[in-house]
A and B are shown apart, each in its own frame.
Chain A
Amino acid sequence: MTIGYRLPKAWQKACRVFQLLCAFVALFAIWAYFTMGVVDVTVDAYWQELSPEVQSAVSYSPLKKGLLWTISTIAYFAPVLIVYATFSVFSKLASGEVFIPPVTRRIRFLGLTIILYALSRILMNTLMILALTYDNPPSMKVLSFMVNGQQITMLMVGVIILLIGQVFTKAVSMAEEHKQFV
C-alpha cells in the first residue's frame, strides 16, 4: 500500500547516508562493548560514588557480578537500540516512501526506544547502587534515586516522537481513504 507522496531524490540519498552512519555507530558501540571493558568502567564509576566506608564493605559475589553485568549491559545497549531504531527509520525513508505503515511503525518504535532509554537512565543509578550494596552490613546499604533534567527531556522527546508516529498512522489511513476517491 503506497500513497502518493515520495521523498525527493536528494532526501533519499541523505537518508541513505544517515542509515550508513547509524550502522557504523551501532557496530562501533558493539565493538567498544567487547573491547573496552564497558561493564568494569561503569561499575567502577558507581563504586566511586559511594562513601569510603561503604566502598570498603562492598564485596563481589558471582551473583552480584552477574547482576551488575546485566544492569550495565542493558543500560549500555539502550542507546544502541535507539541507533538501531533510527537506522530502521532511515532505511525505510531511503526507499522514498513516506506514508506507509512500515514507516509509521518504525517511528513509533523509535519513540518507544527513547522512552525506554530515558527510563533506564533514571532507574540505572538506583539499581546499580542497590546491586553494589544490597549485601553490605545493615548500616552500609545505600538506596538512591536520582532524576535530572536531561533524563526528563529525553523522556519527553520519546513521548513526542511516539505521538508523531501516532499522527503519522492516522495520516496514512486518511491518505489511503483519500486515494479511494477518484
Chain B
Amino acid sequence: MAIIVRLDVMLAQRKMKSKELAAAIGIAEQNVSALRQGKVKGVRFDTLDKICEVLDCKPGDLLDRE
C-alpha cells in the first residue's frame, strides 16, 4: 500500500507518547501502535479528526502517499 502514516513524526514534534495519544482519543494503545506502523487497513474519519484535534494538525500532516 502506498499510503504513508506520519504519526511518528507528529508525535515527536508534539513531544507526545503514543500511550498519551491513545488515552486522549479513547482508543487502545495497540491500535495507535498499529496505526504508527501502517499495519491497519483504514482509519475512521472520527478517529482521524480526534488525532488531528489532539495533535493540532491537519490530516495531510499525518497521511501521505509515495
Residues in A lying within 8 Å of B, measured CB to CB: 177, 180-182
Q: Which residues of B are found within 8 Å of A180, using beta-carbon distances?
A: 34, 39-42
Number of B residues, CB within 8 Å of A: 12
A181–B39 Cα distance when bound, in Å, is 10
Q: Which residues of A are found within 8 Å of B31, using beta-carbon distances?
A: 182
Residues in B lying within 8 Å of A, measured CB to CB: 27, 31-32, 34-35, 39-44, 47
Number of A-B residue pairs with CB-CB distance less than 8 Å in the complex they form: 21
A180–B30 Cα distance when bound, in Å, is 11
A182–B28 Cα distance when bound, in Å, is 9
CB distance from A180 to the nearest CB of B (A): 4
Q: Which residues of B are found within 8 Å of A182, using beta-carbon distances?
A: 27, 31-32, 34-35, 40, 42-44, 47
CB distance from B62 to the nearest CB of A (A): 12
Q: Which residue, of A177, A180, A181, A182, has the highest number of chain B Cβ atoms within 10 A?
A: A182
A180–B44 Cα distance when bound, in Å, is 10
21 pairs, CB–CB < 8 Å, chain A vs chain B: A177-B41, A180-B34, A180-B39, A180-B40, A180-B41, A180-B42, A181-B40, A181-B41, A181-B42, A181-B43, A181-B44, A182-B27, A182-B31, A182-B32, A182-B34, A182-B35, A182-B40, A182-B42, A182-B43, A182-B44, A182-B47
Q: Name the CB-closest residue of A to B48.
A: A182
A181–B43 Cα distance when bound, in Å, is 5
Q: Name the CB-closest residue of B to A180.
A: B41
A180–B40 Cα distance when bound, in Å, is 5
Q: Which residues of A are found within 8 Å of B35, using beta-carbon distances?
A: 182
A181–B31 Cα distance when bound, in Å, is 9
Given contacts A177-B41, A182-B34, 5 further A-B contacts (CB under 8 A): A180-B40, A181-B43, A182-B32, A182-B40, A182-B42
Q: Name the CB-closest residue of A to B30.
A: A182
A54–B65 Cα distance when bound, in Å, is 83
A182–B43 Cα distance when bound, in Å, is 5
A41–B40 Cα distance when bound, in Å, is 62
Q: Name the CB-closest residue of A to B28.
A: A182
Q: Which residues of A are found within 8 Å of B32, using beta-carbon distances?
A: 182
A180–B35 Cα distance when bound, in Å, is 9
Question: A-B pairs with the 3 shortest C-beta distances?
Answer: A180-B41, A182-B31, A181-B42
CB distance from A137 to the nearest CB of B (A): 72
